[in-house]
C-alpha cells in the first residue's frame, strides 16, 4: 500500500465500541440497523460532528433518509440515545446527539450480568457443599439441617470453604453433628478466623497440642481412630466456661 494512502488511513482514526455492546445489543432491545446507526453516530461524534443530518447518516448506510429518521426516532423512544442542547460557536445553543443513555443502560446490564454470574457461582458452591455434607453424613440432609447450612452462609456470612473445614474438623474429632459443627464455626468466629487457611492453622495447632491424629492427606477428611489414640479435642468443651 502507498505510504501516503496508509498515512491518510491512519489519520482518519478508528471508531471504538465496547465489546459488551457488540455482544449484548439485542438484550438492550436493539436490532442490527440500530446498532450500525449508533456506530455511525459515534463516528460523527469522534469527528466533532455533533448533530449529523439524516442525509449524512443515510449516505453512510443502505438506508433512505426516511429510514434513517425512523431508526433515530426508535433509538430516542427506547431511550438509548438523546438529543441535548450545548453551547456552540458565538455562545449559540446547538443540538447534539448523546449516547450517554446507551452507556448507562449498558453499564446496568453489565452489572446485572456479573450479579447473575455471582449468584449462579454461589449456587454451584452451595450444591457442592450440600453434596459433601450428605456424603460425610451418609444420608440426605433433613430440611432443618439444610436450612442450618444455608444460614451459615447467608445469615452468618461464613465462607463456604470455612464450613468445609469445620466439617473436616468434626469428622476428625469423630463428632459428626450439625450442633458440633455450629460450635466450631462459632468458636472460629470468636477467634476472628475467617478463612480456610486460618482454620487449618488453628486446627493443626490444637491437634498438635493434644496429640490428635491429622486428617488423611488424600481425602483431607477421613481418619480412623487407633486403639491407643488419646481423647480428641472437643470444641464443645472449649465453648464451656
pTM higher than 0.75 = no
What DSSP string runs through 19-39? HHHHHHGGGGT--HHHHHHHH
pLDDT of residue 121: 87
Q: Quick one: pLDDT at residue 122?
A: 85
> What's the CA angle centered on 42, arms 38 and 43, to 5 degrees?
115
The residues near 150 (Cβ < 8 Å, ≥ 6 apart) are 126
Which three three-digit cell numbers place residue 141? 440432609
The reported pLDDT for the residue numbered 236 is 52
Q: Among 3.90.470.20, 3.50.50.60, 1.10.10.10, 3.90.1170.40, name the CATH number for the domain at 3-105.
A: 1.10.10.10
Closest C-alpha to 175, from 132, 137, 218: 137
Residue closest to 202 by CA, chosen among 217, 183, 184: 184
Query: Which residues have a Cβ under 8 Å from the Cβ of 58 and sit 6 or more positions away?
Result: 64, 65, 67, 68
Which pLDDT score is estimated for 224?
A: 44
Looking at residue 222, what is its pLDDT? Answer: 44
pLDDT of 29: 95
For residue 93, the surrounding DSSP H or E stretch is strand 93-98
Q: Where are the alpha helices (DSSP H) in the chain?
A: 3-12, 19-24, 32-46, 54-59, 65-77, 100-137, 143-154, 160-172, 178-190, 196-210, 235-239
Nearest to 206 by CA among 240, 167, 169, 158: 169
Q: What is the pLDDT along the chain (241 residues), one digit of tens a residue?
A: 577 777 776 777 788 889 999 999 999 999 999 999 999 999 999 999 999 999 999 999 999 999 999 999 999 999 999 999 877 666 678 899 999 999 999 999 999 999 988 888 888 988 999 999 999 999 999 999 999 999 998 888 888 999 999 999 999 888 899 999 999 999 998 989 888 889 889 888 877 776 655 544 433 444 444 433 333 445 555 544 4
CA distance linking residue 18 with residue 25, whole number of Å: 10
Sequence ranges of the domains in the chain: 3-105, 143-239
For residue 13, the model assigns a pLDDT of: 77
CA-wise closest residue to 167 among 188, 181, 153, 183 = 181
The pLDDT score that the predictor gives to residue 94 is: 86
Take residue 156 and report the three cell numbers written for it: 452468618
CA distance 58 to 77: 19
Amino acid at each position: 500500500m502507498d505510504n501516503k494512502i496508509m498515512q491518510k488511513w491512519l489519520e482518519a482514526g478508528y471508531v471504538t465500541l465496547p465489546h459488551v455492546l457488540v455482544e449484548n445489543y439485542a438484550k438492550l432491545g436493539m436490532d442490527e440497523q440500530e446498532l450500525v446507526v449508533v456506530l455511525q453516530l459515534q463516528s460523527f461524534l469522534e469527528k466533532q460532528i455533533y448533530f449529523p443530518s439524516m442525509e449524512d447518516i443515510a449516505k453512510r448506510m443502505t438506508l433512505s433518509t426516511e429510514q434513517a429518521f425512523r431508526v433515530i426516532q426508535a433509538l430516542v423512544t427506547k431511550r438509548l440515545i438523546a438529543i441535548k442542547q450545548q453551547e456552540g460557536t458565538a455562545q449559540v445553543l446547538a443540538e447534539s446527539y448523546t449516547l450517554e443513555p446507551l452507556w448507562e443502560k449498558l453499564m446496568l446490564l453489565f452489572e446485572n450480568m456479573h450479579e447473575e454470574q455471582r449468584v449462579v457461582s454461589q449456587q454451584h458452591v452451595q450444591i457442592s457443599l450440600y453434596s459433601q455434607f450428605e456424603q460425610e453424613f451418609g444420608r440426605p440432609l433433613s430440611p432443618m439441617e439444610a436450612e442450618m447450612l444455608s444460614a451459615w452462609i447467608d445469615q452468618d456470612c461464613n465462607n463456604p470453604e470455612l464450613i468445609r473445614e469445620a466439617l473436616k474438623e468434626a469428622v476428625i474429632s469423630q463428632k459428626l453433628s450439625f450442633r458440633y459443627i455450629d460450635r466450631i464455626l462459632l468458636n472460629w468466629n470468636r477467634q476472628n478466623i475467617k478463612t480456610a487457611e486460618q482454620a487449618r492453622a488453628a486446627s493443626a495447632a490444637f491437634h498438635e497440642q493434644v496429640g490428635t491424629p491429622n486428617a488423611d492427606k488424600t481425602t483431607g477428611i477421613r481418619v480412623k481412630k487407633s486403639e491407643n489414640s488419646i481423647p480428641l479435642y472437643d470444641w464443645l468443651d472449649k465453648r464451656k466456661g
